[in-house]
Structures are given as C-alpha cells and as structure tokens.
Amino acid sequence: MASNPPVSQTRSFSTVFLIEMWERFGFYGMQVLMVTYMMKKLGFVDTKANLVWGAASALIFATPAIGGWVGDRLIGTRRTMLLGAVVLALGYALLWIPSNNLWLLYGALGVIIVGNGFFKSNAGNLVRKIYDGDETRIDSAFTIYYMAVNIGSMVSMTLTPWIRDYVGERYGDHWGWHTAFGVCAIGLLLGLVNYALMRRTLGHVGSPADEVPVKPLRLLAVLGAAALMVLVSALILLNELLARICVYAAGVVILGIFAHLIRRSAPGERAGLVAALVLTLQTIFFFIFYQQMSTSLNLFAQKNVDLDFRLFGWHLFTWIPEQYQNLNSIWIVVLSPVLVALYNGLGRVGRDPSVAAKFAWGFAAVAAGFFIYGVGARWAVAGQVSSWIMVWGYGLYSLGEMLVSGLGLAMIARYVPVRMGGFMMGAYYVATGVSQYLGSVVANLAHIPEGLDNPVESLDIYTSLFNKLGFVGIACTAIAVAALPLMKKLSDSHAAHTALPAVRSEELSPQP
C-alpha cells in the first residue's frame, strides 16, 4: 500500500498561520474596544479601566505556561490549540450578550483568559516544530507568523469600532457595543471551520500526546481545571490588590523557573537558557511600552488627536479614536515582507544580525516613536495633534515591536531545548503578561483628573508620559547594546553544543 506523500513545511505552516489569523481577529477586535467600553458603558475611571485590562492582559499572557504543559504532557499540542480556539469563541459570545452586568464581563474575560492559555503557546510551538532545526529560516518563519497576528487584528480593529458606531446609531448604543463583540466570536468560528478543512496538514506535527487517544478522565480533568481557572480569573479581576499580588508573584516564579532550569540543565543547554533569560528580561521592558497602545495611546486618541486625515489641505477620511490602534497592525503587515526578505538575504551571505542585535535596534525604534508623539505636541492646534503624527509614531513603534516581540518566539525556539519547548514558550508569555500589567501601571501616570475637559491640559499630561518613555527606551537600547558581547559568547557556546540538521531548501510562504 502506497504511503501518503510528505506534507510540505509551507502547507503545515499555512494551517497554523490561518487559525492564528482568525484567533487574533477575535482577540484584537475585543481588545480595541475594552478599555473605552469599561469607561463609557460601565462608568470606570481611566485608572481603573487601565488596571483591570492590565490584569486581564497579564492573565491572558500568563495562562499559556499552563496551556503549553497541557499540550506537551496531557492531551497533545494540536488538541490543546483547538480546545483553546473553541473556548475563546465562547468567551467572545458571552460579550455578545446585551448586558452590562459586571459579573458577566469578568466571567467572559475569565473564559477568554483560559482559552488564550490553551491556544497561544501551542500554536507557537507547532510553528517551532514545523521548522525545528531549520536555523536559517526560523526567524523568517516567526516573522511571517507574527504577520498573521496583524492581518487578523488589522481587519478587526478597523471593523469593530465602525460596527459599534453604525449599529449604535440605528438601534441604540447598548446594541452597538455588544454586536461589535459578537463579530469577534463569528470570526473565530470561521477560523475553526477553516482549520477543520486543513487539519490533515498537521497530522505529523505535535507532541507525543497527540499520537495516542486522549483518556476521557484526563480530558474531563482538563476541562474541570479550566472551569475553575475561569472562576479564579474573574475573582482576580474583581480585586485590584489580589491582581497585583498574583502578577508580581508570577514574575518571581518565572525567574525562579529559569534559575532552576539553568542550574539543572546539561552544560550544552546552559548557555542557550541563559541567553533566553537575558532576552526575556529585555522583552519584559518592551511590553511595558507595548501596553500603551490599548491604554494611554488609546485614550490620547480620544482626547488629543485630530481625527481627520488631510493631505495638502484635502480631506481624505476620518477615523474613530479606537481605530488608531490599527496603525500598529497596518505597519507590521507592510514591514513584515521587508524584514523577511532582509533576514533571508543577509542569511544567505552569513550576515544576518543576531537576535540580541535586533532587540537593540528594536528598542531604539520604540524610543524614537514615543519621542515623535512628544514632539508632535509642539505643532498641536487647540490641544490636538495631527493624525499623521500618530501614523509615523506608530510606524517606529511597530518596527520596534517586530524586532523585539516579533522575534521573541524565535528566540525561545532558537535557544531552548525541544523537550522544554511548550512550557518555555508559556513561561515567555507569563513574563510578557507581567510587563503588560506594569505597562498599565505606567499608563496611569497620565491619569486625567475627573472633570478636566481642556485638551490643552490633557495634551501636556500625555506628552509628558510619552517623552519619559522615550528616554526609558534610550536607556533600554544602551543596556541591550552593552549586553551584545555577552550574548555573542552565549550564542557561540550554545551553537558549539548543538548539532543542526541540514537546512531545507523549500521557500517559506504563508500560502496554502
């Protein structure tokens, strides 16, 4: 009997790429509205909305550590990713319910937190397994994978604010918000249908647990633990002190895990784990900047940005304030092919910069981006800066994101042993979750006092924060540059103890 032909890397990658794209469509369509929903519909002040979303973000990024372990050890990487997508669709569907009940909001966020935990690390781990050992192409693979995030979010962050306003004007503001959340659930359902049609391309990729039937009692235990985690997450979101304790404790635990693994690892693995730790610490600082997109930059657009785009005096179009977050996705989709071509071209001649060098360049770009917001205030009219200032600020910010966050998963794939892959990707997400909460704390430095409606005064408050973040970005750049010799030594030591298979020759492409 003839065996089935081998599935190409490209087809396998395309399956993960597309489910990730739809999953991020749902997530960012929800995120773009959440802070302003809490303020405008639930009556939260800006500091409370920022911290609730910061705590939710921290948990959203922390739970993949558990999801990675479930995928590696219990029910399989592919099954866990699929379970996560189903749970996420349920979470967005709960936000679709036309009620402003706080328990419903926290419960829905709890479901989203758990669903993301199952999905995120396992989807990334599948990409890592598809290109395992293909050292010259793994950065490009994760850059294109990162583009999947932003294709989905680019569409949803444009669509959901517009749907909210369109439906709200015709059927009432109440229906507008919840219909927009419902679109996120519909998007993920489309992603699940697409995955069902393409799932055979991943039949050879996954963890050992994927290769055996899952035991019913084990599956029930996973589902029961997930339900308990939903309840725990909702309680954490209700209590600001508890949220702060949990987030900071998670940071300590992650550092302890890294220290334990480094101490217990084989000599050939130790240099790679230390390198991963250094880059993970840098990533924590980066995500403090990143969290400003949904918090301080979002609220800045609400109060201090001229929403009209004009060119040479001609009016082009007008955006809704939340849609400015979409600039991040637009820039990443535009820049991703450029960076992939650059990485591949430099790789062919042996000149591709190290991940550590890319991190340093990324911090420099982020610093420049925040300074653009600050400098733009000098030409503000009646307390409002031009929309084009936001475009160019987000452009540099997004370039920095691609060089740091976009390569974070590639860094784990490069330096962490395969047997720790799912768990360490989860640990990486916990670290980014801690920094997301810290980013919300930083965003609250730009708190607008209740009753302050003068845009000139709020402009000074926001741009003061952005300029400070620019200087912090310069300091992070200097630290990253100073760490380059250490990172080269660690990388060389890791490479010397790692036997790499021959590089595959097929061209990386997101097309099925």
Q: Which domains does the chain have, with CATH numbers?
A: 9-206+217-315+322-496 (1.20.1250.20)
- Sequence-distant (6+) residues with CB within 8 A of 23 are 85, 88, 119, 123, 152, 188, 191
Report how far apart, in Å, the C-alpha atoms of 390 and of each of 351, 377, 398, 504, 506 are: 34, 11, 12, 41, 39
d(CA 413, CA 161): 36
Residue 124's closest CA among 377, 328, 405, 395? 405
Q: Which two three-digit tokens encode residue 367?
A: 């610093």
d(CA 465, CA 445): 7
3-state helix, strand, coil in the chain (%, to 5): 80, 5, 15
Return per-residue pLDDT of the chain as tens, 512 residues: 344 445 567 788 888 888 888 998 999 999 999 999 999 999 999 999 999 999 999 898 888 878 888 888 888 888 899 999 999 999 999 999 998 889 999 999 999 999 998 998 788 778 777 776 665 566 667 767 767 677 888 899 999 999 999 999 999 888 999 999 999 999 999 999 988 888 888 877 777 777 888 888 888 999 999 999 999 999 999 988 898 898 888 888 877 877 877 777 777 677 777 777 777 788 888 889 989 999 999 999 999 999 999 988 899 999 999 999 999 889 988 887 888 788 778 877 777 777 788 888 999 999 999 999 988 888 888 899 999 999 999 999 899 888 887 566 666 667 777 666 656 766 777 788 888 899 999 999 988 888 888 989 999 999 999 999 999 999 999 988 988 887 777 777 766 766 544 333 333 333 32
Name residue, tokens 């962490």: 416
Pairing of strands 314-318, 308-311: antiparallel
